[in-house]
Amino acid sequence: MASVLVISNDPTTCSLVVNCLTTDGHVVATCDTPSAAPRLFATLVFDAVCLDTALDQSSIDDFLRWFQADEQRAAIPILFLLPLGSQWTPAAAPPQLRPGLDGYLVKPLDDNGLRKTMAELLARSPRGQPAYPHVLRLPPLTLDLDTHDLSVDGRTVHLTPTEYRLTSYLMERPGAVVARDELLERVWGFHPGTGSAAVVRVHVGNLRRKMAQIGTGRFLETLPHQGYRLRVEGAPVGGA
């Protein structure tokens, strides 16, 4: 098992990569802009990165300069996801690709190609072993990315796969209000403008009840007409 960061603002791409890699037992985190990646690297250690090159080129360049400025980060392979019809074709590698370490795929992606290429990248990585620890922490909460257990002070509840994706998405954005439509796209994989608000309400309600079992239900807030957030410890309580 490995830990992979996916950087893309395309819900279809994110959904396919997350579903494929998690099915293979990998831990996957996502962000929709390269500028958000350093914050995640401060929380988790990754074994590989999937980078969608359809994003703004200047932000990609900034990220790659930051990424390669550190010796440990620079040892992590990057899988470049190339837009169909771009100047990069299957016969032309991305100019930022580091031969022998990085790889690339042209969209639309398919499960078999993604699995094969990711396995090759992880085998090349000098890291050798999966990164540890596989946890997200947002005091007082700790989410185990391997077991999908949410805990605080020794009290633990087990999350369903959907509850786990919802919780990890919110924990990666501490204190930020996340709109319902964003959750429908990034957690459930719906296309923009589709999906039912009831889907989010039901799962948020179920998750809040589980969190109440370990005394942290108040940390999952609903802000009417705005969205949802996980409150940072010590911050004022918002919507119920």
Q: What is the pLDDT of residues 134-147, one digit of tens each?
A: 678 888 899 987 78
What proportion of the chain, given as a percentage, has pLDDT over 90? 40
Contact 229, 218 (CB under 8 A): no
Res. 130 pLDDT band, cuts 50 70 90: very low
Q: Same domain for 75 and 161?
A: no
Instruction: State residue 131's pLDDT score.
Output: 45
Three-state secondary-structure class, residue 169: helix
Q: Same domain for 156 and 175?
A: yes
Instruction: State residue 58's pLDDT score.
Output: 92
Instruction: State residue 155's pLDDT score.
Output: 94
Q: Same domain for 69 and 108?
A: yes
Say yes or no to pLDDT of 80 above 90: yes
Which residues are CB-contacts of 20 (< 8 A; sequence separation ≥ 6)? 111, 114, 115
Say yes or no to pLDDT of 192 above 50: yes
Which residues are CB-contacts of 236 (< 8 A; sequence separation ≥ 6)? none
* pTM for the structure as a whole: 0.57
Instruction: State residue 235's pLDDT score.
Output: 56
Q: Same domain for 144 and 221?
A: yes
Strand pairing category for 155-158 and 149-152: antiparallel
Q: Same domain for 95 and 8?
A: yes
Q: Which domain holds residue 194?
A: 135-230
